Amino acid sequence: MPHLSERSIFFEAIDLNDPHERRAYLDQACGGDAELRASVDALLQAHEAPDHALDRPPVEVPKIDFPHHIGSKIGPYRLMEQIGEGGFGLVFVAQQEHPVRRKVALKIVKPGTGTKEVLARFEAERQAVAMMDHPNIAKVFDAGVTDDGRPYFVMELVRGVPISEFADAHQMPIRDRLELFKNVCTAVHHAHQKGVIHRDIKPSNVMVTLHDDRPVVKVIDFGVAKAIGQSLTDKTIYTRFFSMIGTPLYMSPEQAEMSGLDVDTRSDIYSLGVLLYQLLVGETPFDRERLDSAGLDEMRRIIREEDPPRPSQRLTTLNARMTTVSNARRLDVKRLTSTLRGDLDWIVMKALEKDRNRRYDSAAAMANDISRHLTEQPIQARPPTLSYQLLKFARRQRVAIATFSLVALAMMIGTGASIWQMRVAYHERDLKEVALREATQAKRDVERFAAVVTEANSLVASAQTHAGSGRWKAAMDDYDRAIELQRNYDLPWIGRAQFFTRLNMWEEAANDYAHALSLGAATDTPQWWGVVALFTLTDHMQAANELCLQLNRQIALHKPIEQWEFVRTCAACRDCMSDQSLRDLAAWTRTELAKPEPPPQWDDGPRPPDRRRHPGFLFEPEGRPLRPPPERMPSDFSRSDFTGPNDGDTDWVGPEPSGSNPRDPGAFDSDQPPPPRSNRTGPPRSPHELPRNVRQYIAGLVHLRIGEHERAIELLEQARDDRSWPASWIVDAPMAIALHATNRADDAADALARSRQSIGEVTAMLSDERNPATKPPWFDFVEFFAFYTEASELIEGTTPIDVPSLEEIRSPVLMQLR
Amino acid sequence: MTSEVTQILNAIEDGDRQAASQLLPLVYDELRRLATQKMTREPAGQTIQPTALVHEAFLRLVGGEDKPNWDGRGHFFAAAAESMRRILIEAARRRKTEKRGGDRQRIDLSSDDVVAHPEDSETLLALDDALKKLDNEDPELARLVELRYFTGLTIDQTAEILGVSPRTVKRNWAYARAWLRREMEGDVSV
């Protein structure tokens, strides 16, 4: 009996801890039986190996579907036939014996939410539900708990088909669909008047049955969704969220937030909008597959932020399905598109507004608008007016600041921060369904705050438009109002600062920039190009230091500054940057300059005739100057997609900085986002976006700052000696400083003198408004004066007297502002 | 119900062989019912330990009244162990077929009725196979493993139920444990 002996050998062996002893014993016990020996060895190995399945007790018990048999009884109801099954649970036809004998629909809720809570919520709503009496609403009779602890609901039995399926199956024309949908609206309106919100309006809850060949709508599940779904407030029940409510295709933005608060009748209006959308187009506004596959956060973001296409637009994206959809409406594709375009588009989109205040204020109002459309009267929902579009713009901006303003902004502002925290605190309490009212209030506060920010944004947009058309005064007023609205919000400050730079009002610009900086504005955006020089020139040394500190920090965090203009910004201050950071920057410039050059950019393509007059170093291949990018939401510039010269996208010059081109507002209206660009998410482009000598100039500045003066002189000479770049007036002053540092007094004096001679030309150019398109960016001038002043003080020991005062520079514009 | 189970346990003790076969379905149903009820009433994410469930079932079906001796309990726990083994294996099989993609509706409904990790079901099924082989070789050992693993009885409790010394239980457990592992790993390598 080899098996038994194997066992006894095993027992003996495990008692022997010493390996030698054990081996000796095994040798002896097994004798020459190699098979036995191998088998015992395997046993011992298994005995000693860690992580044995048996050592981990089975941790979890599977949930077992308690069988609800046909014929079994639940309370006074006997199950007769299963008619539905889904994420919600099971639906049966059941026979009720008393007090009345009738057939009912019995819905057994899938386990998930606590039974007690479901019933308690239903009880709370029961009275209201009972008061609903409408031919298009299926009554809810009863609710209870099954033996195995699941809540169930007993409802009027509706043997129907979901409305969308019914309409398609019967090839209902648009008009008939609208008539049917109006009945849905009246039913929902009736419930709303009784204080019952449905919360889960979707085709499978809007059934259609035929009565004497006439389709009759029945909205089912009123009061049920609330009982089941209200505690869906947290990510931890993500899976349950989907299983209970199904896909969020019909869910309003405020429901998608799942704050559990504040869902009101207007959420139903939104869902009605989705339903109508589907009846018209055959698809939901957001793609089913996309929402299904998106994670919770992404799904919420889509619902909250993305504008769905209008029904008529959506139709065109259906491709192959388009014909099917049209046929089901007894129209050809073209006719269907034109039927939807206009009124129906606007009716649907009004119901689908993200901001529920902009939706129809009642289901009845929506039904009325549909009636008006059917009788060719003007509808209440209107195509967007200009002011409406401006508001939409502001809302888009709000999207951009969703992360920026509501988090960063709120954090940087005392009041905002406390509101935020209040909201968080309340949110937590709300999870326990406490303090509902206060939480609502807190949320309103946040919304009010967001509304103010939105308004400020729209004022900034309006200001940009005015500035773009040269209406300085109007632009100024809008900026002022935007700032006054919310003084802690940095965007209007930056906007006005840019506006001031446009007007050569450097002192004012510097003040606004400094203020924005103190509010914690993000500075890694092109709006901040050259601002260090501005701070230096206007004697805002603390702000200059702070700005450099931020750029420094970026380098310290190993986020290389791979933008020549930022490097240039850093180099403008004499001792703001740390030595190490400057050395890093210098090394970077050397590496970049050592790279092979693309063909010289300004030698191909036509040039504006006067291009050579200017040191406008920002040339794109066609010789059009690239201006500093637009005032836009800083967050829009988190990607480096604003430089345009060598990406082949030559049409895009960027919007005007503060409307620097009054005669030609350009292809860009400031209330529109820039045209979509194919390479937005493409790889970071090479830094060869500036002409070589401009890069040499910037490299020269950096080397000057780290004290490598010979290198600086060499680079600056190269920059100046390229005769295709007539930039002497900007190069001379830093050159003078470098020469001075290497004790070449005469050469330094000469360079300074050359710089001085340029003052007249530069000043004239500054106030020359004749050709704004080719005028160098404002910071060229600022940098020129800053370096000239620095060089004069260094070499001659005195503040130069020949620099025009800031007052002189700006006075011509001040007249226009009055 | 309580009295029913107690009666059966008494009958078994009196040597009624038929009674033993009546016990299993009762215990099995009670465990399933308990598991379902737990899952419904407990907040989501809460796990339910099978062993805890068995003990709760014991208290509900047997406990309280005139305490049966350990032998009576032994029958109960043997039935409970076998029931729990069936419940877990059924679930693991269901999970496996689901993974291969079965009826979509079924997936929707039962995707969250199994909380354990998928790899656990593989292990569980392998263990079940190995246990069957052990049962052919040595039914006593298989019963020991079933009792210990599926009801979570301690060495001492098991010893008391089986009427042997704790030392024997310990050694037999070690042997069965190694045997099963060798069997399971042999399976893997094949």
Q: Check pLDDT > 50 for residue A634.
A: no
C-beta separation of A625 from A774 below 8 A: yes
Which pLDDT belongs to residue A647?
Answer: 36
Which pLDDT belongs to residue B105?
Answer: 33
Q: Check pLDDT > 90 for residue B121.
A: no
Which pLDDT belongs to residue A177?
Answer: 94
Q: How many helices (H) and strands (E) does chain B have?
A: 9, 0
Which pLDDT belongs to residue A164?
Answer: 92
Residue A85 lies in a domain: no
The mean of the pLDDT values for chain B is 71
* CA closest to B185 among chain A residues: A46
Which residue numbers of A belong to the known binding site for ATP? 107
Question: A32: which DSSP letter?
Answer: T
Mean pLDDT for A149-160 is 82
Give me the residue from A10, A58, A114 closest to B175, CB to CB: A10
Q: Check pLDDT > 90 for residue A330.
A: no
Q: Is B45 on the interface with A (CB under 8 A)?
A: yes
Element (H, E) at A417: helix A414-431
The encoded tokens of residue A333 equal 């594709």
Q: Which residue has the higher pLDDT, A328 or B189?
A: A328
Q: Check pLDDT > 60 for residue A448.
A: yes
C-beta separation of A543 from A535 below 8 A: yes
Angstrom distance (rounded) from CA A699 to CA A144: 79
Which residues in B lie closer than 8 A to residue A14 (C-beta atoms)? 174
Q: A118: burial class by Cβ within 10 Å (0-12, 13-18, 19+)?
A: buried
Angstrom distance (rounded) from CA A154 to CA A173: 35
> ipTM of this predicted complex?
0.77
Q: Check pLDDT > 50 for residue A376.
A: yes
Mean pLDDT for A518-529 is 79
Q: Check pLDDT > 70 for residue A599.
A: no
Domain locations in chain B as residue ranges:
2-189
Which pLDDT belongs to residue A202?
Answer: 87
> pLDDT tens for residues B129-154?
999 999 998 888 998 998 888 887 78
Residue A497 confidence class, pLDDT cut points 50, 70, 90: very high
Q: Is A149 on the interface with B (CB under 8 A)?
A: yes
Three-state DSSP class for residue A78: strand
User: Edge-to-edge, what's the strand order for the sheet holding A102-109?
Assistant: A73-74, A77-85, A89-96, A102-109, A151-156, A140-145
Lowest-pLDDT range of A766-770, A789-793, B62-66, B155-159 = B62-66
Residue A232 lies in a domain: yes
Q: Which residue has the higher pLDDT, A88 or A617?
A: A88
Q: Is A86 on the interface with B (CB under 8 A)?
A: yes
Residue A252 lies in a domain: yes
Residue with tokens 């005469």: A746
Residue A315 confidence class, pLDDT cut points 50, 70, 90: confident
Which of B29, B32, B40, B173 should be substituted to probe chain A, the one whose Cβ sees the most A Cβ atoms within 10 Å? Answer: B40
Mean pLDDT for A425-443 is 51
Residue A325 lies in a domain: no
> pLDDT tens for residues B13-71?
776 666 666 777 777 777 777 776 665 555 444 455 666 777 777 766 766 545 555 55
Q: Check pLDDT > 70 for residue A639.
A: no
Mean pLDDT for A77-101 is 77
Which residues in B lie closer than 8 A to residue A109 (C-beta atoms)? none
The mean of the pLDDT values for chain A is 73
Within 7-26 of B, beta carbons closer than 8 Å to A belong to none
> pLDDT tens for residues A29-40?
888 788 888 888
Residue A382 confidence class, pLDDT cut points 50, 70, 90: low
C-beta separation of A203 from A184 below 8 A: no
Question: A627: which DSSP letter?
Answer: P
Phi then psi for residue A628, to 5 deg, are -55, 145
Using alpha carbons, list the distances in angstroms from residue A711 to A290, A617, A640: 57, 22, 30
Q: Which residue has the higher pLDDT, A326 or A149?
A: A326
Which pLDDT belongs to residue B77?
Answer: 80
Residue A424 confidence class, pLDDT cut points 50, 70, 90: low
Which pLDDT belongs to residue A740?
Answer: 92
Which pLDDT belongs to residue A392?
Answer: 46
Lowest-pLDDT range of A13-22, A387-396, A544-553 = A387-396
Q: Which residue has the higher pLDDT, A702 or A575?
A: A702
* CA closest to B131 among chain A residues: A54
Residue A261 confidence class, pLDDT cut points 50, 70, 90: low
Q: Is B65 on the interface with A (CB under 8 A)?
A: no
Q: A163: Cβ–Cβ under 8 A, 6 or more apart, which residues?
A: A180, A181, A184, A203, A206, A207, A208, A217, A275, A279
Q: Check pLDDT > 50 for residue A572.
A: yes
Angstrom distance (rounded) from CA A273 to CA A252: 10
Angstrom distance (rounded) from CA A652 to CA A610: 21
Contact at CB, A61 and B35, closer than 8 angstroms = yes
C-beta separation of A44 from A14 below 8 A: yes
Which pLDDT belongs to residue B36?
Answer: 66
Angstrom distance (rounded) from CA A517 to CA A514: 5
The encoded tokens of residue A733 equal 């002053």
Q: Check pLDDT > 60 for residue B115.
A: no
* Percent of chain A's residues with pLDDT above 90: 13
Q: Percent helix, strand, coil in chain A (nearest 5)?
A: 60, 5, 35
* CA closest to B186 among chain A residues: A42
Q: Check pLDDT > 80 for residue A43.
A: yes
Residue A447 confidence class, pLDDT cut points 50, 70, 90: low
Mean pLDDT for A146-168 is 84
Angstrom distance (rounded) from CA A8 to CA A3: 9
Mean pLDDT for A100-114 is 74
Q: Which domain holds residue A41?
A: 2-51
Q: Which residue has the higher pLDDT, A637 or A104?
A: A104
Which range of A126-135, A222-231, A650-659 scores highest in mean pLDDT? It is A126-135
Amino acid at A590: R
Pick from A68, A121, A56, A126: nearest CA to A92: A68
Residue B123 confidence class, pLDDT cut points 50, 70, 90: confident
> pLDDT tens for residues A663-702?
333 333 333 444 333 333 333 344 446 778 888 889 999 9
Three-state DSSP class for residue A217: strand
Which residues in B lie closer than 8 A to residue A108 (C-beta atoms)? none
Q: Which residue has the higher pLDDT, A612 or A470?
A: A470
Give me the residue from A53, A54, A63 closest to B113, CB to CB: A63
Which pLDDT belongs to residue A502?
Answer: 83
Q: Check pLDDT > 80 for residue A281.
A: yes
Which residues in A lie closer than 8 A to residue B40 (C-beta atoms)? 111, 115, 148-150
Which pLDDT belongs to residue A176?
Answer: 93
Lowest-pLDDT range of A181-195, A290-304, A452-466 = A290-304
Mean pLDDT for A470-488 is 86
Q: Which residue has the higher pLDDT, A680 or B167?
A: B167
Residue A35 lies in a domain: yes
Which pLDDT belongs to residue A711?
Answer: 92
Among A276, A295, A314, residue at a domain's last position: A295
Q: Residue A234's domain is classified under what CATH number? A: 1.10.510.10
> pLDDT tens for residues B92-108?
777 666 555 443 333 33
The encoded tokens of residue A105 equal 């629909």
For residue A684, say if its preceding peptide bond is cis, omega within 30 degrees of 0: no
C-beta separation of A725 from A611 below 8 A: no
Which pLDDT belongs to residue B104?
Answer: 36
Question: A137: which DSSP letter?
Answer: B
For residue A173, say if its preceding peptide bond is cis, omega within 30 degrees of 0: no
Residue A367 confidence class, pLDDT cut points 50, 70, 90: very high
